[in-house]
Amino acid sequence: MSTLAERHQRFHELHQSGCFVIPNPWDIGSARMMAALGAQALATTSAGFAFTLGRPDMGRVSRDEALAHAEAIVAATPLPVSGDFENGFADAPDEIAETVRLAREAGLSGCSIEDTMMPADPAMGNPAYGFELAVERIAAAADVAKSLVEPFVLCARADGVMNETYDMEEAIRRIKAFEKAGADLVYVPLVPDTDALTWVVESVSVPVNALAAGAVAKLTVPELAGVGVRRISVGSQIARLTHAAIRDAMKAMIDNGDFAPFDGGMGGGAVNALLESGANGGASD
C-alpha cells in the first residue's frame, strides 16, 4: 500500500512529462473499478458526487461534504487523488487557502479551484469572479500549497468559456495570471476547438489540463499529447453515462415492457473481481 507521501510525489511526477488520463469517480465502487482498469490517478467530480446525493451540479455540495467524500475516495485505492472543489466553497481568498489546507488533511494530492461564483439563488446563474479577485484567490491557495511538505498540485480553472461569461481572450489573460500567482496546472474547460486548446498550451509554461468533452473528446490521447496537454480529465462524463443507462433501462421497462437493456450489463463476478483488484491498486501496481 502506498503511503500518502508517496502518492503526493507520484502525482506531482505525473504532471512533469508526457500526458495521462485522470478519470473522475463519484463513489468508492467507481474509484476501485477505475483503479483496477489502469488509472494512474483519480479526481473527484463535483457533478457526479452531487448526483449521488440527488442534487444538481454547481454549488449544491458543502465543503464538509466534499471533503468527507474526497477522504473516502482517497481511502478506496492506493492511487493519488485530486479534488474537484468548484469555487473552493468560498469567495474570500483566506477561505480558499483554508480549503487547500483541509484538502491536504483529507489526503488529497491536489485540487482544482474555479473562477466561478456559486450564488445561493440558482436564478442568478454562475458569473465569473472579477479578474483581480480571481487571481487573489489562486495566489492565496498557492501560498498554502507551496508551504506543504509534500507536493500539492493546485489546478487553477478559467471556466468562463464553458459558462459563457467571457471569451477565450479573457481565459488566456486569466490563466497567465494564475500561473504567475503560483498555480501548478491551468485548465480552460470546453474550449471551442483544437486551435483554442493550442492557444491555451502555448500561453503558459505550466502543465495544462484538458476536459474530454465537446471538441476535445473528438481527439485521441496521442493527439492531445501532441498538442502539449499534460493531463486529460473526464469530469462527469462517465457518471452521466451511468445515468443514461438508468434512464434507458427504466424507459424500456416502463414504456416498452421489456428488459432489453439488461443484455449490456456486466456479470456480477466480473464486477466483484474489479472491485477487489481496485482496492489493491489494480493495474497500476
Looking at residue 284, its pLDDT comes to 39
Assess whether pLDDT exceeds 70 at residue 17. yes
| Helix axis angle, 268-279 to 28-36, nearest 10° | 80
Assess whether pLDDT exceeds 70 at residue 95. yes
Looking at residue 119, its pLDDT comes to 74
Question: What's the pLDDT tens digit per position in 19-52?
Answer: 999 999 999 999 999 999 999 999 999 999 999 9
Assess whether pLDDT exceeds 80 at residue 67. yes
Q: Name the percent of the chain lying above pLDDT 90.
A: 91
Assess whether pLDDT exceeds 50 at residue 99. yes
Assess whether pLDDT exceeds 90 at residue 285. no
Looking at residue 1, its pLDDT comes to 61
Q: Name the percent of the chain lying above pLDDT 70.
A: 98
CATH of the domain at 244: 3.20.20.60
Question: What's the pLDDT tens digit per position in 153-189?
Answer: 999 999 999 999 999 999 999 999 999 999 999 999 9
Question: What's the pLDDT tens digit per position in 123-143?
Answer: 777 899 999 999 999 999 999
Looking at residue 203, its pLDDT comes to 98
- Structural domains counted in the chain: 1
* Predicted model pTM: 0.94
Per-residue confidence band for 208, with pLDDT thresholds at 50, 70 and 90: very high
Question: What's the pLDDT tens digit per position in 242-273?
Answer: 999 999 999 999 999 999 999 988 899 999 99
Looking at residue 125, its pLDDT comes to 77
The parent domain of residue 80 ranges over: 4-284
Looking at residue 31, its pLDDT comes to 97
Mean pLDDT, residues 90-100 taken together: 98
Looking at residue 283, its pLDDT comes to 67
Assess whether pLDDT exceeds 90 at residue 80. yes
